Amino acid sequence: MYLLRRVFGTDGRNGQNVGMERSKLLRRFGKRGKGKGQFNMPSGVAVTKSGDIVVADTENHRIQIFTSEGQLKCKFGLQGALPHQINYPMCVALTTDENVVVSDSVNAVVKIFNLNGEYITQYGTNGVFEFPYGLAVSQENFLVVTDISKHSVTVLYPSGGVSHAFGSYGEGTRQLDHPYFVAVNRNKQIIVTDSGNGCIKLFHFEGRLLRCFSWQDFRLLEGQIINLYGLCSDPDGNTILVCNSTVYILARNGRLWEILTPLDGLTSPKCIAYSPLGQLVLTQADYSGRHEVCLFKYNKEDYESLNALLFYAISI
């Protein structure tokens, strides 16, 4: 019923626009600055099992951790190249034992910290990466890292060694052009935003292409500029992504179904994470506007019917 109301634009009873029922924004916190709880171009975001929010405060070169109410719990990181320092952290992810994984982009490594901000280790010091950006962690603690200079995806063993890598620069279905963001769903499929090609590509965990979705599949307006940003997966395996200033669910046939729009309070969304508290957590940032974290209501049961009769095609 929820999806029918969104498709037809009414509540099914009195014809009122569904915009009347939207107010999904729960809270927002943060503003531009260098102080505690302030941000300068926040990017990656992750959520712990208890609902704490981990944010890559990119141009302040630090990580900040907040409660689900927006209260600062911990911050760590200084600009630099020492093991405990960070230089433009782009994305964050959490291991199953809730250590914080950071793509330390300019230092070209992936670093691991605990939730108290204590440095544990780093991977990629032998030149594995040129500019690591997107991050995801599988249920087995494999680290999946995109590299926007190599235009590739690298999968690391939990111990930090390279398991395998795939992708090269180009427009082909098996090539990538600035793959900024990545997610791993419950089926161990790797989902990549192939931003330069305006595509979303799904791969088997071993790197074999499963599907490539583009604007024709998205069902967006023809000729519309497609800006792909962060993405995540919910416990039901739905892929949730930011495109332009809207948040969508990617249906299994490639269609994008909007779930949050500027009417819900989106202005410049960047990255997104699912919270076990039944929320979507987004960072918003641009050089002239907001630098904040926003929490929105999200009921995954509303979308159970979306993929009930749709299945990914076989590998191509």
For residue 309, is pLDDT > 70?
Answer: no
The residue-averaged pLDDT of 139-166 equals 97
Q: What share of the chain is helix, strand, coil (3-state, %, to 5)?
A: 10, 45, 45
Give the pair of three-digit tokens for residue 192: 């990549």
Mean pLDDT of 292-316: 72
pLDDT for 313:
43
Q: Write out pLDDT tens, residues 187-232.
A: 999 999 999 999 999 999 999 999 999 988 998 876 678 999 999 9
> Is a pLDDT exceeding 50 seen at residue 1?
no
Tokens of 69: 């109410």
* Range 137-142 average pLDDT: 97
Residue 12 has pLDDT above 50, yes or no: no
Q: How many CB atoms lie within 10 A of CB 139?
A: 9
pLDDT digits (tens, 9 = 90+) for 45-74: 999 999 999 999 999 999 999 999 999 999
The region that residue 37 occupies, defined by phi over 0 for left and psi between -120 and 50 for alpha, beta otherwise, is left
**Structural domains in the chain plus CATH codes:** 214-307 (2.20.25)
**Res 86: pLDDT:** 98
Say what percent of the chain tops pLDDT 90: 80
Q: What is the mean pLDDT of residues 129-141?
A: 98
pLDDT > 50? residue 20: no
What is the predicted pLDDT for the residue at 232? 97
Confidence of residue 17 (pLDDT cuts 50, 70, 90): very low
What is the chain's alpha carbon radius of gyration, rounded to the nearest angstrom?
19
pTM over 0.85: yes
Point out the least confidently predicted range of 9-18, 94-103, 170-179: 9-18
pLDDT at 173: 86
Mean confidence (pLDDT) of the chain: 90
Please provide residue 60's backbone torsions phi and psi, each rounded to the nearest 5 degrees: -95, 0
Task: Give the other-Cβ count within 10 Å of 249's Cβ.
Answer: 20
Q: Which residues contact 124 (CB under 8 A, 6 or more apart)?
A: 108, 109, 110, 132, 145, 156, 160
Residue 73 CB contacts under 8 Å (≥ 6 apart), including other chains: 52, 65, 66, 67
- Work out the percent of the chain whose per-residue pLDDT is above 70: 89
Chain centre to alpha carbon of residue 40: 18
Round to whole Å and give the CA distance between 107 and 84.
Answer: 12
What distance in Å separates the CA atoms of residue 309 and residue 167, rounded to the nearest whole number? 31
